[in-house]
Amino acid sequence: MAEAAVKIEGYVAGTWDLDPVHSQIAFVARHLMVSKIRGHFNTFQAQIVTAENPLDSSATATIDLSSVVTGNETRDNDLRSSNFFDVATHPEMTFSSTGIRRHGDNFILDGDLTIRGVTRPVSLTVEVNGFGPDPYGGTRAGFSAHGEINRTDFGVSFNAPVPGGVMVSEKVQIEIEAEAVLRKD
C-alpha cells in the first residue's frame, strides 16, 4: 500500500539541475583508524525530479571520479589509481534512485550506486532544506543527504595492515549538500 502524499512547506514540483557551484558531493573515511580524512568531487551532474507527491520523486547523479580532491595530491592520485577508483577503466560513479520514503521529519532515498562497474543498493537520509526564488528570476531548492557504504562491496578493497588496524576504513560516509535550479520548461 502506497504512503499518503506528504506536505512540504513551499514545495515546488518540477525538474531540477544541481548547481555545482553551490553543491558538494563529499566523503569521509578513517585513516590509520585514528583520524578522519575528508574529500569531495569537483565535477558532477545531477537531476532531481520533484513529483506532485514528494514520495514519487527521483534523483540521478554522475560523478567524475578523476575530480576527487582530498587536499593531498599524492593521496588524490592514489584514489584515482587501480588501488581505489581505477578511473582509467571506470571514470564515473553513478546513482539512480529507486524509491523514497518518509523517515520522521526527513526522507530515505533508496537507489543504486555504481562504482568500478559494481552496482549495489544504497540508502541516503535526506533533509529538505527548502524552496525559494533566486535573484535571477529562477527557483532554487536545497537538500542535504548522508549515508554510509562499505567500499569493499564495490570492489574498492585495497588496504594495508598497520599495527592495531588497517590504513583505510572499509566504511565510508557520504555527505551531500545540494542546491538545485528549477528548469524553465
pLDDT over 50 (residue 83): yes
Q: Is residue 67 part of a domain?
A: yes
Q: What's the rounded mean pLDDT across residues 70-88?
A: 95
- Cβ within 8 Å of residue 173, ≥6 positions away: 27, 28, 29, 146, 147, 148
- Cβ within 8 Å of residue 51, ≥6 positions away: 13, 57, 58
Q: Is residue 135 part of a domain?
A: yes
Q: Is residue 9 part of a domain?
A: no
In three-state secondary structure terms, 115 is strand
Residue 119 domain boundaries: 14-182
Q: What's the rounded mean pLDDT across residues 155-167?
A: 73
Domain of residue 31, CATH code: 2.40.128.110
pLDDT for residue 17: 98
Indicate the number of domains in the chain. 1
Q: Is residue 170 part of a domain?
A: yes
pTM over 0.85, yes/no: yes
In three-state secondary structure terms, 164 is coil
pLDDT over 70 (residue 165): no
pLDDT over 90 (residue 16): yes
Q: What's the rounded mean pLDDT across residues 148-157?
A: 92
pLDDT for residue 7: 86
Q: Is residue 37 part of a domain?
A: yes
pLDDT over 50 (residue 1): no
